[in-house]
Amino acid sequence: MANANPWLRMLWLVPLILVFGLAWAVWSGRLRVPEAWNPWAPLRIDAPPNLLTRFKLDRAAGDPATCQAALAQADMRLTPVEDRVTGDHCGFTDAVRIQRTSVAVGSDFTLSCRTALSLAMWERHVLQQAAQANLGARVVRIEHLGSYACRNIYGEQGRRRSQHATADALDVAGFVLDDGRRVRVLGDWGAKQGDVASTSSSAAPRAVSREARFLRALHDGACDYFDVVLGPDYNRAHADHFHFDRGTVRVCR
């Protein structure tokens, strides 16, 4: 083996060189590929998601100017807010005040640009699709429990700051449909078909309700666009809402 041709020992470099060469050709524009499959092309909120969507979303989230340019495509009524510090490890930068998304939201709320961008992606690619597929209706209003709050996780002393403390989180409690129906995380997450509870202990197990399937589709779909998604299956503190945030870890529970 010691006398093996040195060129043979360097063959492993060939694929690496080809990959870097291809990446450079795409980045420099010498090799043109469709925008959807160009990792350096800007994020398009309306573009069908693919394997590069999360990469583009994270890249946009990491640069304020790029994030604001991407968020400008969103179907949202919002205004930028000044950076501010409101307490120890509390405050926000590059944030927006949202009066309306693609649907009504009730009271205004403040989110960092990167979290607002994830919200826009989730609404565009998950919200109405899940409503139509499971309930045959459209969502016209999101009921939320707020976004920015200078507090620790669960509001408990001694814990680290929540993502709410930097306007990187939103809690969603329910949805109102265009036919007047209201779907709430509390009550509908575990609902069964025909839910008037059976008094018979031998009753056959019932499938989850359409409302429950809708909520689970929203929860699971959010995991593609947010870093942390927590719901009723996580713990009792989230029995009545979904927690969506952009943070430093990835959790989908």
Residue 10 domain flag: no
Residue 193: what pLDDT? 74
Residue 3 domain flag: no
Q: Give the pTM.
A: 0.83
Residue 200 domain flag: no
Give the range of the structural domain holding residue 64, as residue numbers without chain letter. 18-195+206-252
The residue ranges of DSSP E strands in 88-168, in sequence order, are 90-92, 95-100, 104-112, 139-146
Residue 77 domain flag: yes
User: How many independent structural domains does the chain possess?
Assistant: 1
Q: What is the chain's pLDDT, residue by residue, as a tens digit (253 residues)?
A: 455 566 665 565 556 555 555 555 545 666 567 888 888 899 999 999 999 999 999 999 999 999 999 999 999 999 999 999 998 899 999 999 999 999 999 999 999 999 999 999 999 999 999 999 999 999 999 999 999 999 998 877 878 899 999 999 999 999 999 999 999 999 999 888 765 444 444 455 568 899 999 999 999 999 999 999 999 999 999 999 999 999 989 999 9
Residue 102 domain flag: yes
Residues 6+ apart with CB under 8 A from 142: 101, 103, 104, 105, 106, 172, 174, 175
Residue 59 domain flag: yes
- 169: DSSP letter: E
Residue 139: what pLDDT? 98
Residue 6 domain flag: no
Residue 13 domain flag: no
- b or e along 6-28 (b: 16 or more beta carbons within 10 Å of the residue's beta carbon)? eeeeeeeeeeeeeeeeeeeebee
